[in-house]
Chains A and B, each alone.
Chain A
């Protein structure tokens, strides 16, 4: 027996998922489905033409050229489309006044235009619609196809004639036929009572109807009586002839016995629906060749029926009941214990009847018992092509759900389309933050790593990638890529060699970064998924670093941190150490002052908000309104935003517009003249005021208003013809905030609130200074300072200043100081960010600075340097291993430690659930000679694969 879940070890042996897509030139789609066909017990290729299974081929046989092939590899399993043998949730059950309505067809209440994505995904391709449960004979059940053309939906209009003998049907309404008009000659008569009110009545009525049917048949023959001309007996004769089943909802053994007695000696095909106690009369049922549609399986948190002494009429079948019935030779179709529950049909069925028997109970037998056995439920040549394809064996994997569902030859559900989860199955998964997982799986969904481990459930329909080794995407802790250079940032052309010189503190490399610049993609292909884009050194203050992704995606999608660090370079600084130090100190002190002003503001604001909760809430909304400066496109036809015309005064040519911002932030009513020529209302919000631009006769007119005012006069800008208009027209109604609207009746209250909303006592926000923002982040220890050092004495003084006085995350970038200062730096808790893996020659001895740093427990973040090439980062780490660094540490130098130093470890740098899906797939063990980068994934997408 296989393990219930798909584990990495097994999956590794499996071939990679292959999906060939091609369509025949003439557009006539032939479909070929490959996989292990569970109902045949062997692999096969199913060729589908014109909605039907044309033929079954041996698995290796050639498929017709041009056919679209669905092949989930050796993990592909194929089942017939499932048959849900009872449902009442897709068509509202009719409940006619009369207790007997054989002319009603359930399908007439079914709307095939309603999209039912969950049903399509469930694998159910044939659906039995129940005509209802609270009349003795509620009508005929119907079988429909799922997901096909609306005209093609009906599989069987009158699949079975329903009879309900459970107490649900014992309360038919009285038929009330008042006289029209009532009067002395024509008094009200009491309403007509209907059968049945009791179990005995139900059976008496059923016998009566069947007897009437027999009499009609004897009189007219079956042809005539089959027509719905006689509403009471329509279809009854067909049931007597055995042309369609008599489907009786019955739970108790006694009822079922009575039914068996009624049909014995007739042609009637009996199907029991419900059948809680059917197992008690299993042998009689088998003898009568009756089928049972059993609610079975264990409903989660549901109650099991008690076997003794007596079961309820609405009871649920015990899972064992299905086994007892099939053992006795009764045909059993299973429906979920929970009504509806199509998506869990297979699971319920397999729980009640494991293996092939369970599958049979929701495919072939279910189709037989609902009267469509010749059309659905089996995989054979000539039959309707209803299939569901799984990417694992559904009989052993409870989590299996259909990956592809085909109904009548059309693919109605396809998990292999669009962005889907990816499972990377690797011999070694270097999580870096934890252990190396042998035969591990990394599951990626929606750009993030969702699961890592050995025993991981692979999502249904996931793309499986098999590889040798997986490491996190590499991080370049400092390099220059994607920069057109400051001078040539415009249209002066591409000059890859031009460096990013030191810049002011108000500049952000992220603003200069061009994700499509030609040197970004090669870097990504080399395995570097994250890079701290840094200005060149050479000045004491060189500027800000931005941490970027190399995914090539535009806009903010590539930015991890716009202010990702600060670069100070004292390695070439001239001047007395004292001057340098005091300069730096001054710089940082001013930054600290700025930070403190913000700290104070935030503290005061929190205090104020606590004291004025109402006003605080209002202010937050205010801020939101202010943000709508670039309105979202609301209606593609009218452009930006529009009011709804709620009234039109034809005489004064005046239309009243009710305006409301889409997200319900402000609303009001505005009156605009000649509105019919004005098709676009361009609204912008700024602080408390909004501005509406109306285009009338090709001319723009504007008016502005203040949201807070109660009555607002409209002032028109531009255009002389409209002068004076503003004094005449007013905004009628009150543009109010949502909260105020509630209190519209209470003016005093409103006034008070208005007072509050002006935000009295609200602390004043300090001014934002772009050049000071990096210091704020730095001093809050959000970002590191990279510092270039040379002279030993100066270096010590600067590091002390940075660490002791300002407690900054300090990273030394100069290899030269490592041999002498490594102990000091370790003591100070600094990091080390060397360009590559520098090896120094000191007095004829080779000193590997990274090894030295690691030995002193200084975290190392490798960078490519401002003149370097990030593509060699993996090689640099590999060289560190050659120089004696443990391979685990070398890997951390280009992943985890860099992420920690750059304070982006919550996004990148390790293989952990929740982090960005940045992975490098290697051809062999990491850093082993000959190992190459095979594939690189950034944010869940493989580099080089087209963005879908």
Chain B
């Protein structure tokens, strides 16, 4: 009921592709910020950013006292998938795609609007060896297709075993990749792999699909057409992912859990950017002294010089907010600019939408947030969320907030 109401309300204010936000503080996440500035969006794209911008016939939002910044980019999440289990138990399912599981009506997407997450890379869960295709979506739209920002950002792979048996897991993964490579070579010899073939909204009738189609995503991965989003749990996993990437010439994006911190220096040396999981602090017991040590993961990566994006998690109270994660990064010693980049520009670059999202620059998509306060102040609300120049969310008209707070704030 509320959901429907929300749709109606918001639809009524949306529709336009042009918008001018005036007199607001502008955090561009791309170089210098404007203390008082304007952002002009035309045809869904950012047309101009400056201290004074005028445009006739364009709807204007007066941002006096407000802060404008690019929408947050979530580089890796399995939220947004319908159903209880986000993992397949069969270890190798490259033919699975989150496309079939993203549910636009999930409260998660509504939360994303309220929290300012305007680009979300939805990926299958972490527990399957070759888990399937992900998708980058925006939290706005009635169908997955209309939400899609990037259809096939990459294939999810896990080098961290679900059971504690690393060598066997890697042996199996290597065998699967090798099998795929052989099949690909055979297919190519026979000239059967067309570049225009895509995995997509496929019926999960494996028999009907035939072996070739089932392996299509794997073929594309092996041909460098897809990126592998590789989940790593330990520092050794990082190396393993790097070695497999070299062996099979894969394009990879490493999604690193907290225990990968020992590889930070190595990653910096090899200039490999990563997506860090939302857990920022872990406690370890020193095996030699028995002393408990606190490790602040993003600080270790930052000090080592690794470029990273940070994810949010739906599990904990603060960690679900991208601004909270950025604030924590500041707390752990990063500069404001770097911290904000880790939730906007860098994740956009890493998941391959850097040309369109992640900063307020002319030419990029008109995805901006109008906040009531500085994002790191801890008291900033998303006043309005703008996607492609359309105001898709207004706090004053958000029915759920109105219900909770009795008339809204």
Contact = CB atoms under 8 A, between A and B. Distances in A.
A36 interface: no
Contact of B318 (A103, A229, A638, A648): A648
Interface secondary structure of B, over-half rule = helix
Most buried by B among A107, A115, A118, A655: A107
Nearest to B244: A108
Interface in B162-185: 164-171, 174-175, 178-179, 182
A260 B384 CA distance: 80
B182 A229 contact: yes
Contacts of A110: 236
Nearest to B376: A676
B332 interface: yes
Interface in B155-214: 164-171, 174-175, 178-179, 182
Interface secondary structure of A, over-half rule = loop
Given A94-B168, A228-B174, A676-B327, A113 B317 contact: no
Interface residues of A, number: 43
A110 B167 CA distance: 8
Nearest to B323: A676
B262 A96 contact: no
A139 B235 contact: no
Interface string A310-326: 00000000000000000
B379 A92 contact: no
A458 to B, nearest CB: 25
Contacts of B333: 637
A648 B324 contact: yes
Contacts of A655: 378
Contacts of A118: 288
A131 B171 CA distance: 12
A679 interface: yes
A518 interface: no
A95 B165 contact: yes
Interface string A643-654: 001111001010
B236 A113 contact: yes
Interface residues of B, number: 39
B171 A139 contact: yes
A471 to B, nearest CB: 38
Interface in B2-56: none
B378 A101 contact: no
Interface in A362-379: none
Interface string A94-119: 11100001011111111111110110
B167 A676 contact: no
B177 to A, nearest CB: 10
A674 interface: yes
B240 interface: yes
B105 interface: no
B266 A96 contact: no
B178 A228 contact: yes
B378 A653 contact: yes
A108 to B, nearest CB: 4
B171 A101 contact: yes
Contact of B378 (A96, A651, A676): A676
A328 B360 CA distance: 80
B263 interface: yes
Nearest to A680: B331
A645 B324 CA distance: 11
B379 to A, nearest CB: 5
Interface string A563-591: 00000000000000000000000000000
A229 B175 CA distance: 7
A113 B171 contact: no
B239 A676 contact: no
Interface in A231-245: 231
B88 to A, nearest CB: 12
B75 to A, nearest CB: 23
Contacts of B85: none
A677 B378 contact: yes
A114 B376 contact: no
A109 B378 contact: no
B285 interface: no
Interface in A103-159: 103-115, 117-118, 131, 139, 150-151
Contacts of A101: 168, 171
10 contacts: A92-B164, A94-B168, A94-B171, A104-B167, A228-B171, A228-B174, A228-B178, A229-B179, A229-B182, A637-B333
Listed from nearest, the 3 A-B pairs whose CB atoms lie closest are A676-B378, A111-B236, A113-B235
